Structure 1
Amino acid sequence: MSDLNISQLPEEYRELQNVVREFANEVIDPVSAQHDKDHTFPYEVVSQMGEMGLFGLPFPEQYGGMDGDYLLFGIALEEIARVDQSVAITLEAGVGLGAMPIYHFGTEEQKQKYLPDLTSGTKLAGFGLTEADAGSDAGATRTTAVEEGDEWVMNGSKQFITNSGTDITSLVTFTAVTGQREDGKKEISAIIVPSDTPGFTVEPAYDKVGWNASDTHPLTLANARVPKENLLGERGRGYANFLHILTEGRVAIAALATGAAQGCVDESVKYANERVSMGRKISEYQAISFKVARMEARVHAARLAWMDAAAKMIAGEDFRKEAYIAKLIASEAAMDNARDATQIHGGYGFMNEYRVARHYRDSKILEIGEGTSEVQLMLIARELGL
């Protein structure tokens, strides 16, 4: 797969693209504006995505998956994000942050217990890493898990956790300090906490600038007890394992961002060919046509970047640098295209009923979540030996 010709995708990839595009246009788009306005989670859409197998795309059939790969997953995210980033991030986080940690690091018993519900989309899971003072800085993690008999007793809080408070959320995997390493640094492990655990509280949802139909909450653990077998992966490897998950997630976020950038191009081409000003379609003005051309160039570069990273991942090659580059390029393309699309639409671009207005509000978080642009630059420089 590392030599994949991305301009000549195999038929099954094209088929999925067409199916998801039709679903996005006919099912997601008609309800997007209302869910965004009401800040409501689109349960009916998520249920249908589950029935389509989208939550199981990159997982083996033995765990209820579709036996696909991250390229298929990225294509699906692109098509959905064209029309609704909230729905796209629900799928991305449900797969990449919710199910993937269990698939990569879980015991066979944990995989059999949790994955079938997650890959079917009937349940969602969250990824509890970020704290008020800890995200990229693992040493600042304050959430603790103390052994008492056959249990972990957990205390602490997390913030900005996606898919953590829906009616179908079944668990959140938390990073927590479980001791001290020989070098004196914190030993950080990952532990699965079911949503119905006493002492686990989902705090009120955030009032966000965008992604209004995506579920995002702060979480609190107060003497929450879970069995010791809920340890996910090797003790002390929690943060390192989550870094791997984040690297994969950056490829998926890049695909999502590419879709958002593409959606801005689509809407701008349509509007420019319809809107008449001073007796001419505004597409006939070079200022507009050049702006749209530059938007299309950004999309093309972003798509090349995320697909290259995905191809390396699938081939088992080191894809870290490519993932960082893809996340940087695609997230900036989404934000730049959203700004330009809003300008092209003029006053209409400032109205929330228009897709470009939602993209304008939604896209900024793409430059922040799962590693800021500054973090991506730092990581790229590090890969270069700087």
Structure 2
Amino acid sequence: MQFQLNEEQLMIQKAARDFAQNECLPGVIERDEKQQFPEAQVLKLAELGFMGMMTAPEYGGAGMDSISYVLAMEEISKIDASVSVCMSVNNSLVCWGLEKYGSEEQKQQYLTPLAQGRKEGSLYLGAFLLSEPEAGSDATSQHTIAEDKGDHYVLNGTKNWITNGKTASIYLVMAQTDVSKGSKGINTFIVEKNTAGITVGAKENKLGIRGSDTHSVMFQDVKVPKQNRIGDDGFGFSFAMKTLAGGRIGIAAQALGIASGAYERAVDYAKQRKAFGKEIAHHQIIQFKLADMATRIEAARLLCLRAAWEKDNGNDYTLSSSMAKVYASETAMWVTTEAVQIHGGYGYVKEYHVERLMRDAKITQIYEGTSEVQRIVIGRGILK
């Protein structure tokens, strides 16, 4: 087993770290307060090739491995999780799914600009539309209907909690085409956002990742060409589950980055802040906190890298990605809370960043499969 990163991976890690420090850190508090979508930062990510990191170069991507993706996600998430979640959705849920399961025509038309993150100079992102008002953890309960009309489908329904909901150009929409078949009656469709009948709801006023573009999306008699269905009839639910398994690696890496960012700020603060005549870093109780934080973060990092390695080597990574996500997300919540505690009163104000990181951490326990769902997946995996 090799624990040392190769030269290319180290280069990508440094590029992501430099980007986060130079492009994301300035204005991050203001963007959070104003719920401002980080368009300039995402465009810059596209220029760096990070919006289609794992997509093959023939489709406009950078052709990097999953380990490089984890490294980049961690570094960017240390500073701004609103930026990294845009990157995660576009890479893991949209580009990967299209490249793996889309037709050649679909790849040429949609994947290439998505992997580049822009088209004709403008931002070009994808969104993954699975969740509904009554279909969250129970993804089989799809109420969005796609009625087969021969050469096209007619789409009706509502999707909730959609990252990139307003800024995306392309939606991957899961919808029920045959209720009698249950999950085998679900299909996934590529839908262009500017199609007639689509309405995007107001931006959600969220606890964390407030810059992220989260909306409900409504479909009323939306016409979708037959050739925009991904895979065979009834493949939609399998597509969603297979795609989410990889997406969990991205969110695990995001959680890891949030934890790492909070930990680094806690260490720096502990070295500067004095109490009882010496820096608080010299008090054993603070050292114990930092030691536990560092240990949990390293364990989460190894789980993330293991899941990425499994994916890169063509192994089944369903179990490892769920383990990485549940552990990294719970580590992020615990570490950020401890970071606020170490900062004391300063941790409760925005200027020191850790309160924002704590708010951002919470969503990693919820989206792309809650911690409860991950434990179900893990339990089934170890008992099969």
**Could you tell me the TM-score, scaled by structure 1's length?**
0.96
Q: Distance in 1 between matches of 2:25 and 2:82?
A: 11
**Matched residue, 1:174:** 173
Alignment partner of 1:145 is 2:141: no
CA distance in 2, matches of 1:264, 1:299: 11
AA aligned opposite 1:33:
I
**Residue in 2 aligned with 1:249?**
247
**1:165 corresponds to which residue?**
166
Match for residue 336 of structure 2 among 320, 335, 338: 338
1:186 Cα offset (Å): 5.9
- Give ranges in structure 2 of 5+ residues lacking alignment: 119-123
Deviations 1:54-96 (A, max 9, x none): 1121011100111111111111000000111111111101111
In 2, distance between residues paired with 1:45 and 1:184?
41
1:157-189 per-position Cα deviation (integer Å, ceiling 9, x unaligned): 0100101202xx2111111111145x6666000
State how far apart, in whole Å, the 1-side matches of 2:233 and 2:127 are: 20
Residues 124-159 of structure 1 deviation map (CA, whole Å, 9 limit, x = unaligned): 010000011113323311000012242211100010
Aligned counterparts of 2:322 and 2:70: Cα–Cα separation in 1: 15
Q: CA separation in 2, counterparts of 1:321 and 1:347?
A: 40
Tell me how far 1:325 sits from its aligned partner. Answer: 0.6
- Residues matched between the structures, number: 379
3-state SS of 2:79 partner: coil
The correspondence for 1:36, drawn from 29, 32, 48, is 32
Q: Does 1:48 align with 2:47?
A: no
CA distance in 2, matches of 1:196, 1:185: 28
Please point out which of 220, 223, 227 is paired with 1:222. 220
Could you tell me how far 1:51 is from its partner in structure 2?
A: 0.5
From 68, 73, 76, the equivalent of 1:72 is 68
Superposition RMSD on alpha carbons, in Å? 1.3
Shift of 1:354: 2.1
Q: Is the 8 A contact 1:145 1:178 kept in 2?
A: yes
Q: Given that residues 54 and 96 in structure 2 are in contact (C-alpha distance below 8 angstroms), is that contact kept between their aligned partners in structure 1?
A: no
Report whether the alignment pairs 1:27 with 2:26.
no
Contact kept in structure 2, 1:312 and 1:318, CA below 8 Å: yes
Check whether the contact 1:189–1:238 (CA below 8 A) recurs between aligned residues: yes
1:316 equivalent to 2:314? Answer yes
Equivalents in 2 of 1:355, 1:118: separation in Å? Answer: 32
SS at structure 1 position matched to 2:252: helix
- Quick one: percent identity of the two aligned structures? 39
Q: Distance in 2 between matches of 1:138 and 1:246?
A: 11
1:270 to 268, 271, 279: 268
Match of 1:12, SS? helix
On the 8 A contact 2:140/2:237 being kept in 1, the answer is no
Give the Cα separation in 1 of the matches to 2:45 and 2:140: 38
Mapped to 2, the partners of 1:313 and 1:262 lie a distance apart of 23
